[in-house]
Structure 1
């Protein structure tokens, strides 16, 4: 592997040349003090090393670790994780850009995680892949008078997209041909961004994996209630409290909110409607980019199937109400706004597996590598060659969509209609 240098408005970065792609990790797109809006990253002098993955924002362990397994290697955490990871075939040219927003229930995750390595997509599809870190949990979505205005994680996402728009040509990308793609909270984030008053010039297409119900955005009153509960549990100034205390109070707030709401999916801190830059109701727009929208067959098992086997009716109801109905609602909204919409359901399940086609099981087929997903419980006893075979097919569809707006040229994947709610099934 040899070094390669990219020059951006933030300064020069030293990346690493892989077998078929160039990799840059931990590139700053912004900076911010705790509970403050992001500001542009301060340019540095000289060449900054970007040959290794960056840190992720402070967070508790993922509640879906029993399904996905832990990230390997486990990344360091830092409040200064306003970074993107870039994978590109070349620093010259103008190729489509695919920007990944990770999931994690607005409580965990990070674009720097090895799960979201974009090497396969970039290498196979001649695209630039960018994954984004944004603040999660209480650091990203606390609404508390005098402390945090709320929706800071949304502002982070907007700042990252603006940085990408300005600098992606330095990595061989076309700033006027951006596809946003994300899973779970990442997909939900994309809908929020499209509904906001933010300028999203250059966003041509979106791919939404398993977006949850749009109404997981909090009302202002509920967000205020959760913020006050956090402050009471913390018992000190959130701006100066030790990070460990902040995270412990976050955990306590989650427990209290779960008991109060009875909701097994909803996090205690999430985007807030009617707080800048979000409107009163998300998922409402008059102009929409073309979209791929889908979900997995057994989404609900990730949240309900723990030690005891719950009622399959409960799991199916959660899958239907939280994800399947949302996919149709979004498809209708995008189509009504004039977009070409392609829908899918992911049904693939390994032979020995306790979760079925669960929430997140589609991720290894798009991003990451055998090393990063090795031992993941949701993949059961599946050989990586089996994952790779279907994964290559899916990645080619995503790549074709990013290049020209059609996954397969209309050969077998027809656009969405109410009479044809699932355009293609992956099994």
Structure 2
């Protein structure tokens, strides 16, 4: 999208990858073919909350693409850079979707905004002897960050002022990047939105067991199986896992600890003291988006407290002990006539996308886009202030600043 104040570039290919192999970086700027493929995936389990995306894109393993939204003012350099990693339970979503268009944020706040894709599900996180060691999606994100570091000056961005922003699975990904020695020094700040930190990683032994279950459901070589077969086996594996753990939030595939040299100790953080600014938070009704399970029951408030508030409050202390400067928030924004309240993902239209991208989203109730945009401008201002200075400043109501 191009207009007088901002240009949206892409999709751009930042890496390529053979199935179950690490990503190979692309040097320089290489446009992706067509509309840019998205990783093969099932429909999102949050379609009932967000609505399905209006932009339909081809599913392809050539999916390591990103989009850039940059102000068009010529001759201006050194802008703060915000790199977005989407959520979707490590099984759905894509950075190039119109939901994640950063044009409004870039135009209003004079920043450069990018959104990146990564491999999902079994293609991104399978652990299976002789096939994959896992964490390929995480390595994709690391490669996207390296591409931004090397090329963002071409779009007026400052490679020394990169802020990572992620929601849900995207926020969990950033937590892993914080722990990776390979990512040290590549970014300066991080925003963690609604990160369910209790499922941030799983032990490699557990991931191998899930991988064997997946292989049994698949019944053929995962290296040559069709996308349809992979997704069908993935769905059966997810159903088995949910029956076993009694929790609908846990995805079948995601980051694993100890799977390869890129994954450091999952307990504690690898960045140097005072080297990082962190903004984290959750939505007051996050768990209204997810059904109860046998081992995950209670009111929305109780479940949100258990899954988000308590673990994130503990994370605040862990980050501070590691030397980070930490700011917290809780979002209490409940769109009129929405059955979901301040649910999981409800902050996304406040930051990214457009009226057309979010048209008909159930979580927005009957709000006119002008009402969404009015509050969104204040949220975008706070996120951009954090990217510039490490401090979001006064947060707009109904968003509450938190200390521990």
Q: For the Cα contact (< 8 Å) 2:64–2:118, is it kept in 1?
A: yes
Mapped pair 1:223 → 2:207: yes
Using the TM superposition, name which of 35-44 and 264-273 deviates more.
35-44
> Residues of 2 paired with 1:406 and 1:201: CA distance?
19
Mapped pair 1:64 → 2:73: no
| Structure 2 residue matching 1:208: 3-state secondary structure | strand
TM-score normalized with structure 2 length: 0.92
> Residues of 2 paired with 1:53 and 1:343: CA distance?
37
Query: Which string of whole-angstrom CA distances, capped at 9 and with x for unpartnered residues, describes residues 191-222 of structure 1?
Result: 11101222332411111110112444111111
Mapped pair 1:76 → 2:53: no
> Residues of 1 paired with 2:306 and 2:7: CA distance?
41
| Structure 2 residue matching 1:255: 3-state secondary structure | helix
Mapped pair 1:336 → 2:307: no
Query: Which string of whole-angstrom CA distances, capped at 9 and with x for unpartnered residues, describes residues 367-416 of structure 1?
Result: 11111001001111111111111100010011111112221279999985
Deviation at 1:312, TM superposition (A): 8.6
Q: Which residue of structure 1 aligns with residue 183 of structure 2?
A: 199
Mapped pair 1:274 → 2:258: yes
Q: Which residue of structure 2 aligns with residue 170 of structure 1?
A: 154
| Structure 1 residue matching 2:190: 3-state secondary structure | strand
Mapped pair 1:248 → 2:232: yes
> Residues of 2 paired with 1:139 and 1:133: CA distance?
13
Deviation at 1:27, TM superposition (A): 0.5
Mapped pair 1:389 → 2:371: no
Deviation at 1:259, TM superposition (A): 1.1
Mapped pair 1:142 → 2:126: yes
> Residues of 2 paired with 1:48 and 1:38: CA distance?
17
> Residues of 1 paired with 2:27 and 2:44: CA distance?
31
Using the TM superposition, name which of 54-63 and 87-96 deviates more.
87-96
TM-score normalized with structure 1 length: 0.87
> Residues of 2 paired with 1:19 and 1:107: CA distance?
36
Mapped pair 1:301 → 2:285: no
> Residues of 1 paired with 2:400 and 2:287: CA distance?
27
Deviation at 1:95, TM superposition (A): 0.7
Q: For the Cα contact (< 8 Å) 2:336–2:364, is it kept in 1?
A: no
* Unaligned runs of at least 5 residues, structure 1: 1-15, 419-427
Using the TM superposition, name which of 373-382 and 201-210 deviates more.
201-210
Select 1:100's aligned residue among 57, 67, 84: 84
Q: For the Cα contact (< 8 Å) 2:13–2:32, is it kept in 1?
A: no
Q: How many matched pairs?
A: 396
Deviation at 1:18, TM superposition (A): 2.1
Closer, same or farther in 2 for the Cα pair 1:76/1:252, shift >3 Å? same
> Residues of 1 paired with 2:224 and 2:135: CA distance?
20
Deviation at 1:235, TM superposition (A): 0.5
> Residues of 2 paired with 1:414 and 1:304: CA distance?
26
Mapped pair 1:292 → 2:279: yes
Select 1:151's aligned residue among 135, 147, 150: 135
**RMSD value, Cα:** 2.4
> Residues of 2 paired with 1:132 and 1:213: CA distance?
21
